[in-house]
Amino acid sequence: MEITDVKIRKLITEGRLKAIVSVTFDNMLAVHDIKVVQGEERLFAAMPSRKDESGIFRDIVHPITAEARKELENAVLDAYERQLAESEE
């Protein structure tokens, strides 16, 4: 499965949440509401989630392998950095 598009839907300037992103795979499947979050040590991509009956947030969709997670996170963070640079110009 190939990442064919990454769209930064919203840039956020305050707080730990930095952006809301949509990713398209194989020009056929879109995953919305991926979040770019500033962690303690680095930026990371957080998968879309919802709160279950016990109040715990659970991912709705997520990469199965570490390699897939790294590829997705790199694509999201690269697009975020590009968008940030463009908005500063």
Identify the band that residue 87 occupies on the pLDDT scale cut at 50, 70 and 90: confident
CA distance 61 to 39: 20
Phi first, then psi: what are they for 4, rounded to 5°?
-105, -15
CATH code of residue 84: 3.30.1120.40
Identify the band that residue 79 occupies on the pLDDT scale cut at 50, 70 and 90: very high
- What's the structural domain count of the chain? 1
pLDDT digits (tens, 9 = 90+) for 20-61: 999 999 999 999 999 999 999 999 999 999 999 999 999 999
Element (H, E) at 80: helix 66-88
CA distance 39 to 17: 9
Segments forming the whole domain that contains residue 73:
3-88
